[in-house]
Amino acid sequence: MESGNPTEQLIRNLYPPIEPYSTGFLKVSDVHTIYWEQSGNPDGHPVVFLHGGPGGGTSSSNRRFFDPEFYRIILFDQRGAGKSTPHACLENNTTWDLIDDIEKLREHFKIPEWQVFGGSWGSTLALAYSESHPDKVTGLVLRGIFLLRKKEIDWFYEGGAAAIYPDAWEPFRDLIPEKERESFITAYHGRLNSEDLEIQYAAARAWTKWEMMTAHLLPNDENIKRGDDDYFSLAFARIENHYFVNKGFFPSDSFLLDNVDKIRHINTTIVQGRYDVCCPMMSAWDLHKAFPEADFKVVPNAGHSANEPGIAAELVAANEKLKSLTKKNKP
């Protein structure tokens, strides 16, 4: 299933690895300092990459979705994630703080408007940012749609996805005593905020491994091993859980869908893996129904990860399409 123009004529292969031409840190509050980097063409069309999790941080492979001759590629680690400091910090760490940080970054670089690219939690943040600042967004590429509604959280963290991955679910479940299993999100919240760092690490490893074991259609050992990295896992699990306990800090369950009218004019592509277990296709479908103007690409042989070949190809093609539109609209 797809809507919109065919993309066969567009480039669909990842671009070669590149290094940043500048990196730095921006102090965004009394508590938080965020890491940023720029790569590609310093005079190119700016695009900001919004990573997943929340708490996942960026990686060098994220640069490869974009033509480095056309795009000025801006990556940053959200509060508490990656190289941003303080690590795994939950203080003053909300969706609205992150939206303010994106604006501070845009103003820091003196960029009047930019393209926004985000997958998984990055799609949540991209929608929230664009709906808050629609005049600052030239185009949107969204992948693995996550609207942070209760039914999505319940599906993945309260036993729904266990029907497909019972083997991966059991270690996540078994860390929590039976008497606390009424809400795994709440039970993990207590452990991820324990005064005992070892309890935090054990919970973070279990939480992270569950997600990493379910993120690809075919198991990806390299991805699963990230669950053994205590430094990565602590930020990933603590920040994710903090946002989910707080329902994304949104005023209502359907907030992102309710505000789609604000972004209807923005050229948008939605890319969704048919067999995404982390962010099932129901959310991409709901967004598609609310926002039929957006191109909707369902990848038939993929799960959740942006690094799966079919999804990566559609993401590159979506950027190529926006590149083409930007070139046409330039005076």
Per DSSP, the three-state class of 166 is helix
Per DSSP, the three-state class of 302 is coil
Separation between Cα atoms, residue 180 and residue 166, nearest integer Å = 19
List, in sequence order, the alpha helices (H) in 82-165. 95-108, 121-132, 150-157
Separation between Cα atoms, residue 311 and residue 299, nearest integer Å = 6
304 belongs to the catalytic site: yes
- Choosing from 45, 189, 216, 304, the catalytic residue is 304
Q: Any idea what DSSP says for residue 61?
A: G
Separation between Cα atoms, residue 31 and residue 33, nearest integer Å = 7
- Choosing from 45, 51, 67, 120, the catalytic residue is 120
Separation between Cα atoms, residue 279 and residue 277, nearest integer Å = 6
Residues, the chain: 331
Q: Any idea what DSSP says for residue 228?
A: G
29 belongs to the catalytic site: no
Please give the backbone phi and psi of residue 308, each rounded to the nearest 5 degrees, phi first: -70, 140
Separation between Cα atoms, residue 246 and residue 248, nearest integer Å = 5
305 belongs to the catalytic site: no
Max Cα-Cα span within the chain: 65
Separation between Cα atoms, residue 103 and residue 97, nearest integer Å = 10
Cβ atoms 144, 120 nearer than 8 A: yes
- Choosing from 67, 77, 101, 276, the catalytic residue is 276
| Positions marked active-site | 120, 276, 304
